[in-house]
Amino acid sequence: MLRKLIFLICSAIICLMLAKSSWASPSDNDDQDSNEFYEEVLRQVLAQDGWFVIGSYAYKVTRYRRSWLQTRESCKEMGGYLAYQGIRNNTLKREVGRAIIGSRYSEGIWIGLNDRLEESEWIWLDGSRADTIEWDINEPNGFGLENCGEMWDENKKFMINDEGCCDLHQGLCERKIAL
């Protein structure tokens, strides 16, 4: 799957580079135009592979219910990472929830959030401190038993719940598009 995606991305970029070189005048060749061009190519290729593009990020839900650690690996295999970067912004998180999770998933979806190293010290996937988490009412409530984060659609607010890391759920994968 990853090889196929890389092949598609490379093919599309090469085709569009060739096409663009025949359209562009020398004055078009500044870095910003170039970046926007490649980002647009990447958006189109990702959309064809089932990723949902919102702003500078693309999102896709994993196919199978797995533990948090297994889901983290599944996102890597899909060419992304367990979502955390874009959805740290709560406005974007809700937008992603409405667009992707909606009423399609009746249970929580893993995200790149955990307090596995130290209880109640919640960190994002890159180890940065998570201090803007929109916990659902009465969450987090699992203390030492629930050390991984999931987003769920309770009341359509797409809030965060702490969950046992070995529970089986699908997960939200993310890719950054902006160069």
Select the residue interacting with Ca ion from 63, 99, 141, 178 (CB under 5 A).
141
| 135 near Ca ion, judged by CB under 5 A | no
Rounded to the nearest whole angstrom, what is the least distance from the CB of residue 57 to Ca ion in the complex? 26
Binding mask 100-119 for Ca ion (x = CB under 5 A): ---------------x----
DSSP the chain: -HHHHHHHHHHHHHHHHHHHHHH--GGG--HHHHHHHHHHHHHHHHHHTTPEEETTEEEEE-SS-B-HHHHHHHHHHTTSEES-TGGGSHHHHHHHIIIIITTT-SS-EEEEEE-SSSTT--EETTS-B-----BPTT-S--GGG--EEEEE-GGGS-EEEEE-TTS-B-BEEEEE---
Whichever of 80 and 171 has its CB closer to Ca ion, that residue is 171
- Which of 136, 150, 153, 162 contacts Ca ion by CB under 5 A? 162
Question: Which residues are at the interface with Ca ion (CB under 5 A)?
Answer: 115, 139, 141-142, 146-147, 161-162
